[in-house]
Amino acid sequence: MSATAFSSICFDRGCSWKVEKISKLRKRNEGKQFVTCSMKSGNNTSQNTVRIGVLGASGYTGAEVLRLLANHPQFRVTLMTADRKAGQPIASVFPHLITQDLPDLIAVKDANFSDVEAVFCCLPHGTTQEIIKGLPQHLKIVDLSADFRLRDISEYAEWYGQPHSAPDLQKEAVYGLTEIAREEIKTARLVANPGCYPTSIQLPLVPLIKANLIEPRNVIIDAKSGVSGAGRSAKENLLYTEVAEGINSYGITRHRHVPEIEQGLSDAARSKVTVSFTPHLIPMIRGMQSTIYVEMASGVRIEDLYEQLKQSYENEEFVVLLENGAIPRTHSIRGTNYCLINVFPDRITGRAIIVSVIDNLVKGASGQAVQNLNVMMGFPENSGLNYQPLFP
Ligand SMILES: NC(=O)C1=CN([C@@H]2O[C@H](COP(=O)(O)OP(=O)(O)OC[C@H]3O[C@@H](n4cnc5c(N)ncnc54)[C@H](OP(=O)(O)O)[C@@H]3O)[C@@H](O)[C@H]2O)C=CC1
Ligand SMILES: CC(=O)N[C@@H](CCC(=O)OP(=O)(O)O)C(=O)O
């Protein structure tokens, strides 16, 4: 059999395994949804409707929350804030949302939170902690910024260039990598949604480190992000002329996601882990790939890594281990909450190469945020998240 024929059979086997798994999990969740909640149809909402605020609804992650919640059976957006764009209808800020029945954007200071049960906080770091400090206690909060992700506030001060102004809230926050921290998220009031790079990196590495299959101190990560990862505000380095037809590495050795990645991996290892991490901005709108080079522990084979990941994620709808050499592609997850992973042997160095892809705006931000609020509210975890990839 030719190599091409072999790899195409393998690829097909990988896909059919996955299709079976997804449909099985979806059926299981649909069953739960039917029992737990009655559905919303059109403007008729059931008594299970949860009123939602979106803070920073005029930004990219805010808009993505609105897109996902349009198909959510329980969450209904009744409050939306902005800063410079306060006072405007959403369709004048995001014309693609014109068909949604949504309230106008208002300033945070004018918002009445008494009628809202939960908020997605899609604001810049720094600003976020000041605003969350002033929110009423009854609210469940999923914060998409970096403000509550680092447990050590001195580390926050070092990497974010300012002291943390809400240390008590920081102590209360649960780091929301859903597949890893689901039990804690269930009872949390404030969830710190992980950063996009840290999500794509920790999902494959945490189970491997916990099982002592890789050397945690020699991890090298080469990551690439679409430009929407930098948000919607105007910046010179994000102009079309600066981004198109080129690749720009940035934050080499000092990107602020380093301590977040090291925190998660150190927890898994129960000892201090350090990483070499280099992000790149590439000329695409959404999507992210992390290519991770690891040394396997003594006596460990690539098949052991593969089996561990397969076992860790076989009951997870949104983390998919591809089979038999299939290569994760950002095209395969565009607009979805999936993380696709595969592991490859580097026969020359003996290392393993792990490839992980997510959509930075979905599993890397708003999708994981919706997944987390579903967990916090006891709803099926995939509510509002059943999207097929946009391809081509
Ligand atoms: N983009 C991504 O892929 C990811 C982003 N994140 C994080 O999520 C958060 C939001 O990101 P993103 O949506 O991309 O950012 P954007 O820059 O696109 O949006 C920021 C939002 O915050 C509002 N805002 C800005 N300053 C203030 C202020 N002082 N008071 C009140 N509101 C304010 C803006 O309002 P206005 O437009 O009216 O000025 C806008 O609605 C950030 O912390 C980001 O780091 C996390 C993971 C991935
Ligand atoms: C392409 C790009 O610029 N990406 C952002 C990361 C987006 C993200 O996850 O940011 P938070 O940690 O603030 O949530 C960056 O490198 O800073």
CA distance 196 to 229: 8
CA distance 2 to 361: 39
Which of ligand 1's atoms lies nearest the C-alpha of 85? 38
The CATH code of the domain that includes 189 is 3.40.50.720
Specify the number of domains making up the chain: 2
Q: What is the pLDDT of residues 113-145, one digit of tens each?
A: 999 999 999 999 999 999 999 999 999 999 999
Do 247 and 350 share a domain, yes or no?
yes
CA distance 246 to 293: 24
Whether residue 17 is contained in a domain is answered as no
Do 48 and 190 share a domain, yes or no?
yes
Whole-prediction pTM:
0.91
Task: Give the strand order in the sheet containing 105-106.
Answer: 105-106, 75-81, 50-55, 118-121, 140-143, 190-192, 174-175
Q: What is the pLDDT of residues 30-88, one digit of tens each?
A: 544 433 333 333 333 455 899 999 999 999 999 999 999 999 999 999 999 999 999 99
Do 278 and 239 share a domain, yes or no?
yes
3-state secondary structure 200-228: HHHHHHHHHHHCCCECHHHEEEEEEECHH
Whether residue 1 is contained in a domain is answered as no
DSSP assigned state of 315: T
Do 274 and 171 share a domain, yes or no?
no
Domain range for 72 is: 36-194+365-377
The CATH code of the domain that includes 202 is 3.30.360.10
| Peptide bond before residue 345 is cis, with ω within 30 degrees of 0 | no
Q: Provide the annotated active-site residues.
A: 196
Tokens of 107: 């300033």
Ligand nearest to the CA of 287: 1
CA distance 313 to 367: 18
Per-residue pLDDT, averaged over 216-234, amounts to 96
Which pLDDT belongs to residue 78?
98
**Residue at token pair 């959509």:** 359
Give residue 222 CA to ligand 1 midpoint distance, Å.
25
Give residue 258 CA to ligand 1 midpoint distance, Å.
21
Minimum CA distance residue for ligand 1 atom 14: 231
Do 171 and 253 share a domain, yes or no?
no
Are 334 and 391 a contacting pair, CB within 8 Å?
yes
Minimum CA distance residue for ligand 1 atom 31: 83
Pocket of ligand 1 (CB under 6 A): 56-62, 82-85, 108, 122-125, 127, 144-145, 195-196, 228-229, 231-233, 360-361, 364-365
ipTM of the complex: 0.98
Do 101 and 182 share a domain, yes or no?
yes
Q: What is the pLDDT of residues 316-366, one digit of tens each?
A: 999 999 998 999 999 999 999 999 999 999 999 999 999 999 999 999 999
- Counting ligand 2 atoms within 8 A of each CB, the residue from 196, 248, 280 with the most, and so the one to mutate, is 196
Give residue 195 CA to ligand 2 midpoint distance, Å.
7
Tokens of 249: 């590495």
Whether residue 285 is contained in a domain is answered as yes
